[in-house]
Amino acid sequence: MFNGSLGRLELEVVESQYRMPSAGDGLDGLIHGTQPHPHAEGATITLHKLWEKPEKLPAEIDHAGHGGGDKRMLNVLFGPTPGQKPESATRPNRVQMKKTVLWL
């Protein structure tokens, strides 16, 4: 949740509504990010502008590393790979890239 002077932005992620009991064979675990969890509901983004009705915003669901953020971040920082569309019209400069990666 982000609060600001013009309203609030909320993100809700439901990775799994419930889990079935283990079958006891030890094969029911998932490596995070490789595939969706059983009974996954997804994510919702809601924008609450002051004095207005809440607005649902589209959320792109991806089950790759960090919810697909790794691929998108690398695309913005270093440019798209062949055949991939650009994620952003503006690329950060070298100082902005270093601050993003190194947390300066």
Residue 104 has pLDDT above 50, yes or no: no
pTM for the full model?
Answer: 0.52
Choose between 104 and 32: higher pLDDT: 32
Domain identity same for 16 and 47: yes
**What is the three-state SS of 1-51?**
CEEECCEEEEEEEECCCCCCCCCCCCCCCCCCCCCCCCCCCEEEEEEEECC
Of all residues in the chain, the percent with pLDDT exceeding 90 is 17
Nearest Cα to 49, choosing from 13, 17, 10?
A: 10
Domain identity same for 36 and 72: no
Domain identity same for 21 and 72: no
Nearest Cα to 15, choosing from 42, 48, 55?
A: 42
CA gap 35, 67 in Å, rounded: 10
Domain identity same for 83 and 101: yes
Domain identity same for 53 and 18: yes
Residue 88 has pLDDT above 70, yes or no: no
Residue 46 has pLDDT above 90, yes or no: yes
Domain identity same for 46 and 79: no
